[in-house]
Amino acid sequence: MSDSIFEDLFVLELANNHWGKLDRGLKIIRDFARVVRMNEVRAAIKLQFRDVDSFIHRDFRDRDDSRYIKKTLDTQMPWENLRAMVEAVRERGMVTMVTPFDEVSVDKCVEFGVEILKIASSDIRDKTLLRKMASTGLPVVASSGGADLHHIDALVEFFTSRNVPFALNHCVSLYPSEDSELELNQIDLLRQRYPGLVIGLSTHEHRDWHDSIMIAYGKGARTFERHIDIDHEGVPVSPYCTKPEQADVWFKAFKKAKEMCGGDPHAKRVVPEKERRYLDALVRGVYAKRDLPAGHVLTDDDVYHAVPLLKGQISTREFMSGEVLKEAIAVDMPVQLQAVDADYAKDAALAELIADRGMEPIRPEVRIAVNS
């Protein structure tokens, strides 16, 4: 599978915001599928899988002094319900994606036909889990929150050396993140250091759904992740989560950034005809200072440069001095390409351009009337 699966992909991190309730999870999927479809973007809804019975040590299951353990138990969902949520994502035309936190969960991802795996920032050095994920051959996205550069190097080498499609997200693991903590310049660092990878942004900010994605896209990020949730049944929404109406702003800002950035950043853009014609209208044409006979070798003293540039006339872009006239030219008349013998006059593509650019020449009878 190609790394292109990551390009322009939005990852909507549902996480455990289903709170163990299938109906709530399905409603989140439906509500966000509607916004995704309306904006015509590619999106994955990402779940989190844990084999809770083995993930939490049995001696600590009744402890309430660990927020992580308590939330994991409070949001536990049977495998058949998690499968139903994966199918709901697939049925609505979105990409299926899961963060597995243990090896059993990786097997469940394969069993459920999940398309992309995600490595949480906390697990990028979990060698056992990484080996298990790589063994599936499924595409993998990793977030780099809190990681040292040599740890990221090792992670990238681990997956790329195994030919596993791999993307890397810049991430700040602060929940929520302030604008001043986003460090979007790290996107530049990751793109320069790993030029063969799709680089993305996984963000937990809570003040902006517009500007940061435009900046990130302009810097070259091509996959984007946020946590998602809905206002439903009085359940509080965490400040770092995105609601459907905020995702709508996010998607539209992405489309505006894409429109403004344009095409391939590694290739010179194709200049549109209307821009060429505008600039041609500002270029000076070459005119005769005096009557010039056929066979005359032009010098700078024989001509002057003035607007407008006329169709078929050579301009200051072409005039070199040293051209030989093939026909006589009267004073104040344009020096036409067909009237000169020069290397550039033999260029068919240039000849076609010159014939088409500029204004129509003044008819001789009009010129006589103006000068009389």
Pick the CATH number of 273-371 from 3.30.420.310, 3.40.228.10, 3.50.50.100, 3.90.1210.10: 3.90.1210.10
pTM over 0.95: no
**What are the two backbone dihedrals, phi and then psi, of residue 340, each rounded to the nearest 5 degrees?**
-120, 150
> Using one digit for the tens of pLDDT, what is the confidence trace for 133-164?
999 999 999 999 999 999 999 999 999 999 99
Task: Reduce the DSSP state of residue 173 to 3 states and report it.
Answer: coil
User: What is the average per-residue pLDDT within 16-42?
Assistant: 97
Cα–Cα distance, 262 to 244 (Å, whole number): 27
- Cβ contacts of residue 115 below 8 Å, gap of 6+? 5, 44, 95, 96, 97, 138, 139
Residue 370 pLDDT:
44
The yes-or-no verdict on residue 59 having pLDDT over 90 is no
Domain locations along the chain: 3-261, 273-371
The yes-or-no verdict on residue 180 having pLDDT over 80 is yes
Q: Concatenated DSSP letters for 237-260?
A: PPTTPBPHHHHHHHHHHHHHHHHH
Residue 60 pLDDT:
83
pLDDT interval class at 29 (50, 70, 90): very high
Residue 68 pLDDT:
78
The yes-or-no verdict on residue 65 having pLDDT over 70 is yes
The yes-or-no verdict on residue 268 having pLDDT over 70 is yes
> Using one digit for the tens of pLDDT, what is the confidence trace for 276-314?
999 999 999 999 999 999 999 999 999 999 999 999 999
Report the CATH architecture of 3-261.
Alpha-Beta Barrel (3.20)
> Using one digit for the tens of pLDDT, what is the confidence trace for 195-245?
999 999 999 999 999 999 999 999 999 999 999 999 999 999 999 999 999
- The answer to whether the beta carbons of residues 52 and 73 sit under 8 Å apart is yes
Residue 205 pLDDT:
94
Q: Concatenated DSSP letters for 275-342?
A: HHHHHHTTSPEEEESS-B-TTPBP-GGGEEEESPPBTTB-BTTT--S-PEESS-B-TT-B-BGGGEE-
pLDDT interval class at 66 (50, 70, 90): confident
Residue 368 pLDDT:
47
Cα–Cα distance, 288 to 285 (Å, whole number): 10
Residue 266 pLDDT:
82
Identical fold for domains 3-261 and 273-371, yes or no, is no
> Using one digit for the tens of pLDDT, what is the confidence trace for 204-213?
999 999 999 9
Structure letter (DSSP) for residue 61: T
